[in-house]
Amino acid sequence: MIEAVIFDMDGVLIDSEGIYIEWLSDYARKMGYSMTEEMLVKTVGLSSDMSADYFDSVLGKGLGRHFWYGYLELCDTCPFDYSQVLNPGVRDLLEQLKNSHLKIGLASASDRKDIEDMLEANDIGRYFDVVLSGAEFQESKPNPEIYLKAINELDVLPERCVVIEDSDYGIRAAKSAGTRVIAKEEKRFGFSQEEADIVVKNMEEAWAWIFPRIFLNDTIENEM
């Protein structure tokens, strides 16, 4: 039985990751660094601190961190129209979940301001019972802390919760928290989504997997 659904944001609710990689590539080129797309996409799904550590390993300790936070400062000056990157079917899925009386959470590695801007731009904040930012936790995904907190605030058992994720780290964090995981298919960034319970192409397929499990008791579901 499913009683709650928790969403990741970037890559799941919104298709933002490709845009961020384009910005990062342009910034690296302007700063005189030669970095391949393969190197840059390794930041997808990472927290800000983890990205800074990654660039320290690529460019040298301190230098990489300076590069990353310079990029973030530039991003703050660039307008991002979140209303243009909402993934197809998201609004319908949220409405279906709410009409089915499921609890809904959002647990993203992004800063809270970015999360709130996205929710406001798309007018979907009203659907969420819990909204958490990874920036407010000591450790980011794949540490399950953010999902454990979301589960606790939603007041559900982990096994009655499903998380919709896309990245390796996010899937691993959710599985470590004891939930089931739907992976939104993503082939651009080299993610391994093998740990997910199911991989779906879109939100319609996610709903088709969730819907029958709202009504099944745990015994029957385990026999499926």
Q: Please work out, in degrees rounded to the nearest 5, the angle formed at the alpha carbon of residue 194 by the alpha carbons of 188 and 198.
A: 95
Which residue in 8, 10, 114, 168 is the catalytic one? Answer: 8
Six-digit token string for 93: 């899925």
Non-local (6+) Cβ contacts of 59 within 8 A are: 33, 67
Any bridge partners for residue 106, and if so which? 7, 131
CA-CA distance, 51 to 20, in Å (whole number)? 13
120-142 burial, b for 16+ CB within 10 Å, e for fewer? Answer: ebbebeebbbbbbbbbebeebbb
How far apart are alpha carbons 82 and 168 in whole angstroms?
Answer: 24
CA-CA-CA-CA torsion for 180, 12, 86, 137, nearest 10 degrees?
100
Q: How far apart are CA 208 and CA 223, in angstroms?
A: 19
Residue 26 annotated as catalytic: no
Which residues are known catalytic residues? 8
